[in-house]
Structure 1
Amino acid sequence: MTIPPVRWALVGYGSGGRVFHAPMLAGADGVELVAVVTGDPGRRAEVADRLPSARAVSDLTELPDLGVAAVTITTPPATHTDLAHRALDLGLDVVVDKPFALTEAAARRLVDHARDAGRMLTVYQNRRWDTDFLTVRRLIADGRLGRVHRFVSRIDRLRPVRPGWATAVSTGGGTLLDLGPHLIDQALQLFGPVARLHAQLRAIRPGSGAEDEVELHLEHAGGVFSTIAAGMASAAEGPRLQVNGDRGGYLVDGFDVQEAQLKSGASPRTLGDAWGVEPPSGFGRLTTADGTVVVPSERGRWDWFYPAAAAAVRGEGPVPVDPNDAVATARIIDQARISAAEHRVVEV
């Protein structure tokens, strides 16, 4: 017996919806992308052109009549929780893009609502399936680094200030909410809860009303020290990941290949087995007492997220990302703002 796919809707069709989510949904096993919600007439026309099998609608309330079971919220950050609450009230299962919520309190309310409603709720932490992150997990699991004591994760970019929601903290703008959720989540996944932290948040670019340079120093309860850094005013890129243990260290430059593949117009469906495969130029290096060797990267698997989410909707497996993990990340972000404002180390 063939199991029918989960009928899915995409809420929002900006760059996140168009570039990062639509291709992943369209090619996911067990998923049928049947609708896109956008209030922009131009974007509704674009949906009709790019996604002829999906219907463009202007409001969430139209989705139940289309037989939609689950939605992905990929709108400006300040709207995420309101739209997610509305979707839950309509009886829909929900994926929320990062940031899950602007504050820890808002994140907890959303998790509680989904629990009380008996609906599936998860967050799109696709960076858990980056090539470099999966490679680090393998090296740690295989014991090749020994006991890890230091982790550095950074993304350096040089981007102009663009008018809109991204330039104000009140509307969910700023680098801490943009890149922070991914980098913090990766650190928590690798090394567990944080006991205390210190943060520096700065607005460097003229006209940037929100922080565009971020550095967090996290002391994990297990003893690892993590440095999280991200910036939109940094032209010279540092290493993407650096991990040091008492037996070896790993360093990798550049960015996971999957983002570039999506931006080029490719998708898991069009690339097949070439999806997520890092070229040798993107491999990292492992250094031990015996010298330095190049380490082939694990294959990136962003394409695993939506099939897992669909299985969770059908009650056949766990959610791909526990929403309580997003609450933990939101707490780190809240505490980072306190640390930066008061110039002190704060307990988490």
Structure 2
Amino acid sequence: MTESPVRWALAGYGTGGRTFHAPLLASAPGLDLVAVVTGSPERQAQVGSELPGAVTVGSLAELPALGVTGVTITTPSATHAPLAHEALALGLHAVVDKPFALDFRSAAELVAHAERAGRLLVPYQNRRWDSDFLTIRGLLDEGALGRVHTFASRIDRFRPVKSSWHGATAKQGGGVLLDLGPHLVDQAVQLFGSVVSVHADLQTVRAGAGAEDQVELHLTHAGGVRSTLAAGLAAAAPGPRFLVNGDRAGYVVDGFDGQEDQLKAGRTPASLGAAWGVEPESAWGRLFDGTGAGRPVRSARGAWDTFYPAVADAVRGVAPPPVAATDAVATAWVLDAARTSAAEGTVVGLLG
């Protein structure tokens, strides 16, 4: 007998909820998107036309009566942790978009609440399933790079006119450190392990921005790898997305994982099937061994479509969650250290 789908809800139907989460939720086998939490009449109308199988409600408190098991929280950044606490108090499981919380202490408190409540709390670190990231992981597993010593990861965007969101202060959840930093730090830690020291530079480049819009972090991992992570919103000329070097070979890839563009174009895992997350050859990275121009490496298929089915399996108790909640606490610790480092002009140690 086929198990009934896990009944799920989405809190927030702005760009994050509408463009990124809803299509993945609707495409996920074993999960049924039944409700959207939004108080905006405009958003409610969009849900009605775009998700005819879902109802709209004005608060999380209305979800248990609908038989909802869990909720994805993709609302303004400063509301993530408070809404996650509310969801847990209602007996719901929760997926929390980045930033998981605004600081280390808030992240740790949220994880402790989930443990007391006996509910799943899953950070939405979807970029663990980026095509280029998975390709690097494969090269590391094969030993193709040898002993890695340096890693660089950057997300460059060009938005010279700030949006209203980027006028928010850091205390309101604004700024690139909390927007893109969680992805960069999580990926580096997943590849190379825990961080023992952080040095960071945070800048505000665009006039009127309420928080930093250009960041660079230098991490030392416990195993000795040095990571340089950068992100900004004023980079008209982007650098390589990833550059990793070892004592046997190096790998570089430009551009950006294509799953974001697929979703923005209205395509979904359900509509594309086996073509979802597949990178064209023109987007493949290159492997260099010091003897020539390098050879192209076929990119692994991007797999954002595996996240929500994994959440459904975790809710049923047949598999661990796709991302551990404690991973978000570790990331928040690094981001807090980065802010301290930038403010004090020091290297911040994370031992102990």
The answer to whether TM tops 0.5 is: yes
- 2: CA distance, partners of 1:343 / 1:122: 34
**Which residue matches 1:178?**
179
**Residue correspondence of structure 1 range 261-280 to structure 2 within 5 A:** 261-280=262-281
Point out the more displaced range, 167-176 or 30-39.
167-176
CA contact (8 A) 1:13 1:36 kept: yes
Point out the more displaced range, 8-17 or 287-296.
287-296
CA contact (8 A) 1:10 1:72 kept: yes
**Which residue matches 1:319?**
321
- 2: CA distance, partners of 1:315 / 1:33: 19
Amino acid in structure 2 at the alignment position of 1:281: S
**Residue correspondence of structure 1 range 1-348 to structure 2 within 5 A:** 1-159=1-159, 160-164=161-165, 167-291=168-292, 292-348=294-350
Q: CA deviation at 1:146?
A: 0.2
Percent of residue pairs bearing the same amino acid type: 63
Unaligned runs of 5+ in 1: none
CA contact (8 A) 1:240 1:252 kept: yes
Cα shift readout 1:276-306 (whole Å, capped 9, x = no counterpart): 0000111000001443100010000000000
CA contact (8 A) 2:122 2:325 kept: yes
Number of matched pairs? 348
CA contact (8 A) 1:308 1:317 kept: yes
- 1: CA distance, partners of 2:118 / 2:349: 33
| C-alpha distance 91-165 of structure 1, shift in aligned 2 (>3 A) | farther
Give SS of 2:154's match: strand
Amino acid in structure 2 at the alignment position of 1:325: D
- 2: CA distance, partners of 1:144 / 1:317: 30
Measured on the aligned residues, the alpha-carbon RMSD in Å equals 0.8
Amino acid in structure 2 at the alignment position of 1:8: W
CA contact (8 A) 2:130 2:257 kept: yes
CA contact (8 A) 2:269 2:305 kept: yes
Give SS of 1:176's match: helix
CA contact (8 A) 1:77 1:98 kept: yes
| C-alpha distance 166-139 of structure 1, shift in aligned 2 (>3 A) | farther
Instruction: State the TM-score, normalized to the length of structure 1.
Output: 0.99
Point out the more displaced range, 161-170 or 224-233.
161-170
- 2: CA distance, partners of 1:121 / 1:162: 30
Amino acid in structure 1 at the alignment position of 2:259: Q
CA contact (8 A) 1:8 1:32 kept: yes
- 2: CA distance, partners of 1:338 / 1:207: 23
Amino acid in structure 2 at the alignment position of 1:338: T
- 2: CA distance, partners of 1:316 / 1:185: 25
- 2: CA distance, partners of 1:282 / 1:166: 33
- 2: CA distance, partners of 1:219 / 1:61: 44
CA contact (8 A) 2:12 2:36 kept: yes
Q: CA deviation at 1:93?
A: 0.5
Cα shift readout 1:302-325 (whole Å, capped 9, x = no counterpart): 000000001111111100000100
Give SS of 1:205's match: coil
- 2: CA distance, partners of 1:326 / 1:99: 9
- 2: CA distance, partners of 1:178 / 1:259: 15
Cα shift readout 1:161-217 (whole Å, capped 9, x = no counterpart): 112465311110100001000010000000001111100000000000100000000
CA contact (8 A) 2:148 2:244 kept: yes
Point out the more displaced range, 244-253 or 155-164.
155-164
| C-alpha distance 279-45 of structure 1, shift in aligned 2 (>3 A) | same
Cα shift readout 1:200-248 (whole Å, capped 9, x = no counterpart): 0000000001000000000111000000000001110000000000000
| C-alpha distance 157-164 of structure 1, shift in aligned 2 (>3 A) | closer
- 2: CA distance, partners of 1:166 / 1:152: 28
Cα shift readout 1:2-22 (whole Å, capped 9, x = no counterpart): 100000000000000000000
- 2: CA distance, partners of 1:129 / 1:166: 30
Give SS of 1:155's match: strand
- 2: CA distance, partners of 1:148 / 1:214: 24
- 1: CA distance, partners of 2:171 / 2:49: 34
CA contact (8 A) 2:166 2:211 kept: no
CA contact (8 A) 1:161 1:167 kept: no
Unaligned runs of 5+ in 2: none
Instruction: State the TM-score, normalized to the length of structure 2.
Output: 0.98
